[in-house]
Amino acid sequence: MAGRLYGLGIGPGDPELLTLKAKRILEEVDLICTPQSSKDKRSVALDIVEEVVDCQGRVKYFFFPMTKDKLKLNQAWDKAAEEIIELLKLDQDVAFITLGDPLLYSTYIYILERVRGKEFEVETVPGITSINACSARLNLPLAEGREKVLIIPAAYDCDDLEEILTSYENVVLMKVSKNYEEIVNLLEKLDLVENGVFISRCGQEKEFISRNLRSLIGEKIDYLSMIIVKRHFKFDS
Amino acid sequence: MAGRLYGLGIGPGDPELLTLKAKRILEEVDLICTPQSSKDKRSVALDIVEEVVDCQGRVKYFFFPMTKDKLKLNQAWDKAAEEIIELLKLDQDVAFITLGDPLLYSTYIYILERVRGKEFEVETVPGITSINACSARLNLPLAEGREKVLIIPAAYDCDDLEEILTSYENVVLMKVSKNYEEIVNLLEKLDLVENGVFISRCGQEKEFISRNLRSLIGEKIDYLSMIIVKRHFKFDS
């Protein structure tokens, strides 16, 4: 007999965007594991969950450094997975919560890779992505008919961004904080700057939306932010 | 005083994948509008909703033909939007439900276009997409790190599919029934046929999953089906 691991997507911010399934499982599990990017900070994901489920006495924090250093990250993932495996062996049902969806650019993926294939049952529960939440927040179709959608993690350099932006009807640039000015300059060059809309922390208290991408150059851009570019649609700025 | 239109995503099949928000709104609204693809068929979306909310006496069906004839479709969308506008004018709060997410390849988009910009309040509530649900169902990461994701509505012809399949790490081919054999042959040619997984009706009673894409050639492929191709991952078939 061993515990079960749940990877739970909790959506991007609005606690009401939890699914019925995520809520039920959060009520049932023995332990709720939440990632933390700084040891003294609260967890954004946990704050969301606590709006709808009483987590008291069941929370376990995992610290994952905000770095691209693969060695440090692997160490943190190994350690977290080992601790979770110990809990599963003790017959504890464990929910690992993630903002958005657990299988789209989430830390849960690295935990899953380390737990999968062993003797434990693993169930992933999808969550509302920030992409779908942003598009809903703006009443803005993400794609219709024969249109394609391309999702890019823009925190990484992307050599072919110019080609992509001119090839696809709908491009979602996620985590744009690091390369914000470069991205906006490129959109300007391609005459697409008015085709983009900026959103950060969709559904959270600090949600911010702007249709004027130029005006944010030089401002501090939140880590949880994206630009949606619709090639055939000009936003009013 | 006028009613409010809600575009409600209800997820792809599992009633527990409704969000808390969708459930609350479905309990509160005066009318629940559901698309129907055939006049004598039940509505898949309504069947899902009725598992968690009592809809009795509040359901309105809209018939949308399964065709690419733009004239016929426009007529159906115009008629539905007009009827919804009449209801809003009568101070009725109306929820238009859609499988998956309302702003990703959904009929709601065409209703929204016709209601938006008038005097009515419109709120769209995102839903779990079949894409996220399938990836969760398979415990399969959709994208991690610097990987991109491309979503293609494969019911339409796609001239550059070969280039796309060799350019992106993760490609989601939605609605593959029409071009199934062509797609699998192309995957075979590109030595990617073992990198794809097929799922239809994820979370519904008739859910079907196959890691052997070749074996389905000649079979009847369900309309609600997709192939996820992961360029750096071979599935066991």
**pLDDT tens readout for residues B115-144:** 998 889 999 999 999 999 999 999 999 999
Q: Tell whether the model's pLDDT for residue A46 goes beyond 90.
A: yes
Residue B65's pLDDT is 86
Chain A residues closer than 8 Å to B124 by CB: 135-137, 139
Residue A36's pLDDT is 86
Contact B105 A145 (CB under 8 A): yes
Residues A43 and A108 placed together within one structural domain of the fold: yes
Q: What is the CATH number of the domain that holds B43?
A: 3.40.1010.10
Range of the domain at A58: 5-125
- Where b means 16+ CB within 10 Å and e means fewer, B38-47 reads eeeeebbbbe
Residue B99's pLDDT is 96
Last residue in a domain, options B82, B98, B125? B125
Q: Tell whether the model's pLDDT for residue A21 goes beyond 70.
A: yes
Residues A106 and A203 placed together within one structural domain of the fold: no
Residue B126 — φ and ψ, nearest 5°? -65, 155
* N- to C-terminal Cα separation, chain A: 59
Is ipTM > 0.85 here? yes
Under a CB-based contact definition with an 8 Å cutoff, are residues B76 and B14 in contact?
no
Contact A52 B20 (CB under 8 A): yes
What mean pLDDT comes out for the span A21-50?
Answer: 92
Q: Considering only residues 187 to 226 of chain A, which have any Cβ-Cβ distance to chain B shorter than 8 Å?
A: none
pLDDT in tens, A136-169: 999 999 999 999 999 999 988 778 899 999 999 9
Residue A236's pLDDT is 64
Chain A residues closer than 8 Å to B17 by CB: 19-21, 126
- Helices (H) then strands (E): counts for chain A: 7, 10
- Specify the DSSP class assigned to residue A19: B
Nearby residues of B235 by Cβ (< 8 Å), 6 or more positions away = B194, B195, B196, B197, B211
Residues B108 and B11 placed together within one structural domain of the fold: yes
Q: Which residue of chain A is at minimal alpha-carbon distance from B108?
A: A141
Q: Is B149 on the interface with A (CB under 8 A)?
A: yes
pLDDT in tens, B183-192: 999 999 999 9
Residue B236's pLDDT is 64
What mean pLDDT comes out for the span A167-186?
Answer: 96
Q: Is A186 on the interface with B (CB under 8 A)?
A: no
d(CA B30, CA A122): 40
Residues A76 and A89 placed together within one structural domain of the fold: yes
Q: What is the CATH number of the domain that holds B158?
A: 3.30.950.10
Residue A81's pLDDT is 97
Chain A residues closer than 8 Å to B7 by CB: 136, 139
Q: What tokens appear for B62 in the block?
A: 């809209």
Residues A27 and A69 placed together within one structural domain of the fold: yes
pLDDT-flagged residues of chain B (< 50): 237
| CA distance, residue B129 to nearest chain A CA (Å) | 8
Residues B22 and B66 placed together within one structural domain of the fold: yes
Residues B28 and B94 placed together within one structural domain of the fold: yes
Do β-strands A225-230 and A208-210 pair in parallel, antiparallel, or remain unpaired?
A: unpaired
What mean pLDDT comes out for the span A35-62?
Answer: 90
Residues B218 and B174 placed together within one structural domain of the fold: yes
Contact B148 A150 (CB under 8 A): yes
Residue A75 — φ and ψ, nearest 5°? -60, -45
Amino acid at A152: I
Chain B residues closer than 8 Å to A150 by CB: 148-151, 168
Alpha carbon of residue A137 to chain centroid: 16
Residues A78 and A171 placed together within one structural domain of the fold: no
pLDDT in tens, A205-229: 999 999 999 999 999 999 999 999 9
Under a CB-based contact definition with an 8 Å cutoff, are residues B119 and B89 in contact?
no
- Specify the DSSP class assigned to residue A16: G
Q: What tokens appear for B21 in the block?
A: 């928000």
Q: Estimate the crossing angle of helix A20-28 against helix B20-28, to 10 degrees.
A: 120
* Alpha carbon separation from B32 to A147, A212, B50 (Å, rounded): 28, 36, 11
Residue B78's pLDDT is 96
> Which among B18, B116, B125 has the least Cβ separation from residue A20?
B18
Is residue A70 included in any domain, yes or no?
Answer: yes
Closest by CA position to A199, among listed A191, A208, A190: A208
Residue A156's pLDDT is 80
Residues A118 and A138 placed together within one structural domain of the fold: no
- pTM of this prediction? 0.96
- Specify the DSSP class assigned to residue A12: S
Q: Is A105 on the interface with B (CB under 8 A)?
A: yes
Last residue in a domain, options A75, A101, A125? A125
Chain B residues closer than 8 Å to A11 by CB: 19
d(CA B39, CA B145): 46
Q: Is A233 on the interface with B (CB under 8 A)?
A: no
Residue B37's pLDDT is 75
Last residue in a domain, options B125, B150, B168? B125
Is residue A235 included in any domain, yes or no?
Answer: no
d(CA B162, CA B157): 12
Chain B residues closer than 8 Å to A106 by CB: 144
Residue B124's pLDDT is 98
Closest by CA position to A8, among listed A99, A104, A114: A99
Mind spelling out the 3-state secondary structure of chain B?
CCCEEEEEECECCCHHHCEHHHHHHHHHCCEEEEEECCCCCCCHHHHHHHCCCCCCCCEEEEECCCCCCHHHHHHHHHHHHHHHHHHHHCCCCEEEEECECCCECCCHHHHHHHHCCCCCEEEEECCCCHHHHHHHHCCCCCECCCCCEEEEECCCCCCCHHHHHHHCCEEEEECCCCCHHHHHHHHHHCCCHHHEEEEECCCCCCCEEECCCHHHCCCCCCCCEEEEEECCCCCCC
Residues B176 and B142 placed together within one structural domain of the fold: yes
Structural domain tally of chain A? 2
Residues B20 and B78 placed together within one structural domain of the fold: yes
Q: Is B59 on the interface with A (CB under 8 A)?
A: no
